[in-house]
Structure 1
Amino acid sequence: MGKLANKTALVTGSSRGIGRATALRLAHEGALVAVHYATGEEAALSTVADIEAAGGRAFAVRSAFGVPGDVDTLFEALESGLKERTGVATLDILVNNAAIMGGVPPEEVTPELFDRLFAINAKAPFFIVQRALGLLADGGRIINISSGLTRFANPEEAAYAMTKGAVEQIALHFAKYLGARGITVNSVAPGITDNGSPVFDIPQAVEQMAQMSAFGQVGKPADVGDVVAFLASDDARWITGSFIDATGGTLLG
């Protein structure tokens, strides 16, 4: 029996990258995992299949964030999936991972891009947490994926970093609000992590990125997923409202 046996979890944006690695690890520890995706249905179903092949339990839920009714769509699918498999719609672990990046110089950030970044990266997590309050069991876990870019600069991601700064405030304030229920709320900040993007197929680029880490290497999704799994476990019961640096030492300077 894993540390998360009989627990239920929702991981947003878990069809690939850090979200996928997190879903796999939580399922390995025994949790029933709702694998959320917006457009990558095939990848999400692949994640579910991999979990089930390893003896775990999972199901896919779809919702595109940043559009009207996004949170309602997510929770209708989540509650239906949980009730079908457990008989109740109780959630133990919520991981807010889904996000998009900007990738343009500050002068090229349009109001439309700015609004979309905040809608998906900050507004959706806030209202997902709000909606989850009625489902979360006492002693539950909320883990928000932030970014090392809230601590070191990349001008092409200024607006993205602003959204992740907002996400960190969710942890700070909701940790205080939910403490009486034993629910912990924390932020995990990855650094440069190989998410399967084409740039990670370029050896020279990978070498340059690796030098930013104290370990001299680029992070793997599982490096972050393992940190999330720790925070989701009872071992982390005394950690809340915290910012966890999972950048591989990038913030050391």
Structure 2
Amino acid sequence: MLGSIEQEKETLVAEVEPLRELKTGIEEITGTGKTVLPGVVAIKKKNLETVKEQAKAYTVNRDEIATLRERSAAVSRREQRADQREQQLNKREAGLEDMQNQIIERYNRQLRLNQLLEKAERDGKAKDKQIADLQAENTSLRGQIRSLTAQIDQIKGELWSRINDLTDKLKGAYTSLTNIVKAVGMLKYDKEDGYKVDGLTKKQERLIDGVAEYGAKWAKEDGFPEMAEDMEKHIGISKGIADTIEPPRRQISRGWDMEL
């Protein structure tokens, strides 16, 4: 673009230069003599021959000289237009130079951006490796967690089995305690089966009631409220205790032990 502007300027200069030379010739013809009196022009001797030559040229080229001033004015106008055009071209050249500087600046910015992108890509690859390492570690940890979870589930199963076993044993113990408390209560409150003891002292009666209260208290705290209520409100001889205090009679018949 700048080369085409320079070429256009050179073309304008080549076109205007002959016109400028013609204008200079006109000025030389009009500036040779000097007016000393009205109607009298003094010419230096050294310029006399030049004036004579110019006079001859005037005679030969009278028609051309007659229009020389008009051509001079036209030359001035064309020269002025050429100068204006040159100024416009200079402005365009300055504008193009500014655009070129902007292009260079944008190119440099693009170069810096590419460098930043390359750095970001390198950093991204490093982060990808870090992420891959973390994912591998996470996979390993998940495997360890699954193994530990399986072990915990196994231990929990064993613990629950032991807890259930102990719960059953505890329930059996409280069942036995309930039977004992109710049997002891028969010593004070029985009216039908002959277990009531007449003439109990206050301490003895209080001891019988205290045994029932004590058993009910612990049954409630250990999660057996039904047994606690049974101890507080009922008396009686359980089948197990009855079998203990009155074992069934045995008889032998045809080689077999039989309970009656």
Higher RCO (CA 8 Å, separation ≥ 6 residues): 1
Q: Fold match, TM over 0.5?
A: no
Bigger CA radius of gyration: 2
Instruction: Decide which structure has greater helix share.
Output: 2
Instruction: Decide which structure has greater strand share.
Output: 1
TM-score where L is the length of structure 2: 0.18
